[in-house]
Chains A and B, each alone.
Chain A
Amino acid sequence: MRLLLRSAACGAFACALLQGAPDEASAQLADHQYTSAAVEAGSRLYVSECALCHGPQGDRVDGVDLRRGQFRAVQSDDDLRRIITVGVDDSRMPAFDFSAAELDAVVAYIRAGFDPEGVAVRIGDPARGAEVFNEAGDCSSCHRVNGVGPRTAPDLSDIGAIRTPASLQRSLLDPYTALLPINRPVMALTREGEMIRGRRLNEDTYSVQLIDSNGRLRSLVKEDLVDFEISRTPTHEPTSLSGDQVADVVGYLLSLRGIQ
């Protein structure tokens, strides 16, 4: 018995992975400040000028994780430009004599989460982002943060530590290509007629473990189900928030780093 909706969509996988899905909103956001050519140029400059100290993943300096947007003092892109240009007193960060275009390129690469094919991400104000998250964005009606909110959608308490800025932005702007397969909404109908909706935690050939829409842990044996479907549609649409609001939400999410 074949219960799974097996995606025949390997072709679609390729699309998701390869095109980077520049829909209108992301184009506005990304190219608002940096072009993808700048990101690419930045990747080369980073490797030759920055990687020696910051490391290939940007995490080799204590307290700094460039790829994930974690800095000691930097908030805005202008902060970044200033520190690269003048250096930091009493630290090992020297001043670099970059042209304006080179500066833009390096900042773009850092903001793209070190993905040379990615889009540059503007990171806004975390406090404003928290407001948007809870109100205009309506994120908190499904996502839980630091013990508050439902468990229906993935808990975001440490999302800033495990995702890149580009990946977070993509989840807001283009949930169709950003959604991790394990997080796809599932629907199961038991022999007894119970309809269970939820989100998978684990699955194997014969069973599936999930959190149902009531926040309960359920382990279902596939043999006992009359229907089991995995939706390819994410639970939320591409956001209708403004570019500034998206930047703020990304800033807020990046500030969520779990318990220390």
Chain B
Amino acid sequence: MKTTRLFLSAALLVGLALAPANVDAQVSYERILNAADDPGNWLTYNGTYSSQRYSQLAQITPANVDDLELKWMLPNQVFGAWQSNPIVVDGIMYVTQRPNDVMAVDVATGRVFWLYRHTNAPNALVCCGANNRGVAILEDKLFMGTLDAHLVAIDRINGQPLWKTEVGDVNLAYSITMAPLVVKDKVLVGVGGGEFGIRGYVAAYDADTGEEAWRFYTIPGPGEPGHDTWEGDDWEHGGAPVWITGSFDPDLNLTYWGVGNPGPDWNAEQRPGDNLYSDAVVALDADTGELVWHFQFTPNDGYDYDAVQVPVLADMQWEGEQRRLMLWANRNGYFYVLDRETGEFLSGEPYVRVNWSSGLDQNGRPIPTPQPEGMPTWPGNQGGTNWYPPSFSPRTGLFYFAAWEDYATIYRPEESEYQPGRAFLGGGFDVLTPAPGAPGVGIGRTNPINNWTDEVGHAAVIAMDPLTSQPRWKYEQFDVSDSGMLTTASDLLFTGGREGHFHALDARTGELLWRASLGGQIVMAPVTYLVDGQQYISVISGNSLVTFGLRD
């Protein structure tokens, strides 16, 4: 008893010593703006506004990565793919779990301070799992989007909800799975529901009150430019959801968002026209939501090639000139470089086998080569890559992402009738397999036994040189991968995959330097931060959040 008391007093003293720092260090907009220079924390979904997922931390190096050891684990009690991206602020990690729980976790011990649980409307509907990919933070508030299309503000110290705003109509199958993005005094969030005939948008909310500040529809209404890329009333239920967090360039005051597929997914003939701004990136004025430019990757898409990849912003020398670039490995199989000031197309080359198009014209518009009925299309329905966050290292100048190679599907387009709140798919598809009836790959992995094999698709980490559009190196995996990437100033690349291996690669060469078999699928990117001055790395594998640091 005496020992316990003594121990408690000691802990209390330490706690008191730390507490004032925690309370004082509110997360101001300026702090998020300068997140790259604050690598002890992980302040936004993608780490910084430029979404490079590159950390200046360099304590863990190619030379000592072998000394990584388990610091703590936090299993959740909720089953299903855990796609959440933690943020870390002054010693506290905020991570969500299915369907819409937020936990505040002590990064030193992995113990939980509080858990906030949002109860969704029973008719909340999502295509691909009750996923939530994380929270955003501003000052003393956390912000989470919910499966029933609400935005909730939560007190970051005690976990109490502060306001709750309806972003979309759950009865029409609007939902939110992405982590919001805070820009200045606003919380920006997009809506999912591309498989249910929604009309997508990005909207901004006042961080203090939850009041809507602006809304940008990803399908233009009557009288707006681009409306004529739809026929009849197709635009009213044409999809174009926004379900992955965007980026922000403070100098240009532009915020960038990748837009998802048009609906119905697989029957392009049912909705003639380019179907703007589906499968496009849009650049919006951060204060007004006004469209400044757009670039559409896949016009009149019939393959579900959402452009919901993270817009990665990098400043590089391009043909002898320093330019503000946007790097983009798209689900449609092409890797693009755009000028993010103007939206100008600079280059685009396939990084996996592509047969739905024979190439891109000088403006970056694909030359379509639709396959005959019953014939396979490369890349398949899940794409050459998908939503998993890539990384750009300014040190190596390389762009890293997970690609699905040798993966194809056979589409079966059918006429679909739009019914509010119901699936609006336009047919179906089969994964191409080497034998009739053989198992294929789909969304996520639910089996420790891989009986589909690499013959239906397999992963490669691709280190892409943006200047040449050629991979500098590839790291092949047997199963496909939905893992994101993390690079560090010590030229390490951390990533996972569906097999549950957590890898540290040499970012320059692709050499495997270290790995841990965590067993559960890794379907998000790792994050890194400091705990008492020591670099830690957290990654979610299966139902466990696992944290590594160097041996003491």
Contacts and interface: CB of A to CB of B under 8 A. Distances in A.
B455 A167 contact: no
Contact of B451 (A17, A177, A182): A182
Contacts of B499: 204-205
A20 B374 CA distance: 12
Main secondary structure of the interface of B (DSSP, over half): loop
Nearest to B406: A10
Contacts of A205: 476-479, 497, 499, 501
Nearest to B456: A181
Interface residues of B, number: 34
B433 interface: yes
Contacts, number: 91
Nearest to A179: B435
B448 interface: yes
B376 A14 contact: yes
A59 to B, nearest CB: 16
A216 B454 CA distance: 24
Contacts of B408: 10, 13-14
Interface residues of A, number: 32
Contact of B374 (A18, A164, A167): A18
B432 interface: yes
A181 B452 contact: yes
A180 B438 CA distance: 6
B437 A182 contact: no
B453 interface: yes
B450 A17 contact: no
A4 interface: yes
Contacts of A115: 436
Nearest to A13: B434
A201 interface: yes
A10 B437 contact: no
A182 B452 CA distance: 7
Interface in A125-177: 163-164, 167, 170, 177
Contacts of B376: 10, 13-14, 17
B353 interface: yes
Interface string B244-269: 00000000000000000000000000
B501 A206 contact: yes
A13 B410 CA distance: 12
Contact of A164 (B432, B437, B439, B452): B437
Contacts of A16: 434-436
Contact of B449 (A2, A167, A179, A201): A201
B449 A202 contact: yes
A219 to B, nearest CB: 12
A92 interface: no
B395 to A, nearest CB: 26
Given A17-B410, A200-B453, A204-B450, 7 more contacts: A16-B435, A16-B436, A177-B436, A180-B435, A181-B434, A203-B454, A205-B478
Interface of B: 353, 374-376, 378, 406, 408, 410, 432-439, 448-456, 476-479, 497, 499, 501, 515, 517
Interface of A: 2, 4, 6-7, 9-10, 12-14, 16-18, 20, 115, 118, 163-164, 167, 170, 177-182, 200-206
